[in-house]
Homo-oligomer: A and B are copies of this chain.
Amino acid sequence: MDTPLDKLTEEFRRLPGIGVKTARKLAYYIVQQPASRVDEFVDAIRDAKANMHFCSVCFNLSSQDPCPICSDISRDRSTICVVETPQDVQAIERSGDYHGLYHVLHGALSPLDGVNVEDLRIRELLQRLGNTTVKEVILATDPDVEGEATALYLARLIKTAGIRVTRIARGLPMGGDIEYADEATLAGAVANRQEM
């Protein structure tokens, strides 16, 4: 018979990177916390789910629309850095050296996994480039097979429109993940971006 504790353990197991032992430990921890702490946890989940949405301009996750980055008039509007995920935006922001705008694709091209052009925010990126005067698009997709394919695809399209296209330097290890790159590597990769 599955107890409520077993069911909570199962829920934790469904989270990314959480194995069965960690899931069990978290479930036991939760039920032994004071009710007020559990309420805080649940409220934080509900609040984040209810209030974090995709920015209608750049598709980053934000509690505002447009997001604080798109709304920040001090940022360089002539440069757009294209990334795969909102986490990548956070990672590049933490690296501190980039002051342009972003565009979040929400994935990378991977036909074998059924991720095609229409599944990413590519149409919205092209519309944005058509409606605004952008001088440079920095392609900061992950340095793996899918990220490289996505960068090549976008570079071809965007250069056709006469816009400068650069790719962040492969200072990042191949097969790596931008989200987990250290800040110096990431700042260097942006600084050494190359013409495509």
Interface on A for B, CB 8 Å cutoff? 1, 3-5, 7-8, 10-11, 15-18, 21-22, 24-33, 35, 38, 40-42, 44-52, 61-63, 68, 85-87, 90, 179-180
Are A17 and B27 in contact, CB atoms less than 8 angstroms apart? no
Count of identical protomers in the assembly: 2
Known: A3-B63, A61-B32, A63-B4. A38 touches B45 (CB 8 A): yes
A136→B24 CA distance, assembly (Å):
30
Q: Cβ of B4 and Cβ of A27 under 8 Å apart?
A: no
Main secondary structure of the interface of A (DSSP, over half): helix
Decide: B25 and A17 in contact? CB cutoff 8 A.
yes
Give the nearest-CB partner of A180 in chain B.
B21
- A86 / chain B contacts, CB cutoff of 8 Å: 28
| In the A-B complex, the 4 residue pairs with the closest CB atoms | A8-B48, A4-B48, A11-B44, A31-B52
